[in-house]
Amino acid sequence: MTVTEESIRIEGMSCGHCQATVDKAIRSVEGVQDVTVDLGEKQARVVYDPTVTNITVIKSAISNAGYDVIQ
């Protein structure tokens, strides 16, 4: 199985609750296999199966949780 790893810059996270909310939003996307959200760096590292999902769907999940994805 092939997996893809991407880093996503996220604005609007300011506390551990924000970090947990982003983590939960990303993990809710089918095909996501691993997530690491770094509050200090304001980014998330996501490992996912590209045959199941894509980065656009993952970014939408973050946006829908109330956070800004930086291109």
pLDDT tens-digit readout, 2-20: 999 999 999 999 999 999 9
Identify whether the C-beta of residue 42 lies closer than 8 Å to the C-beta of residue 9: yes
Q: What is the CATH number of the domain that holds 16?
A: 3.30.70.100
Indicate the number of domains in the chain: 1
Q: What is the pTM of this model?
A: 0.94
Task: Report the alpha-carbon angle 22-31-26, nearest 5.
Answer: 5
Q: Which domain holds residue 59?
A: 4-70
At residue 71, the pLDDT reads 76
Of 33, 69, 23, 24, residue with least CA distance to 53: 33
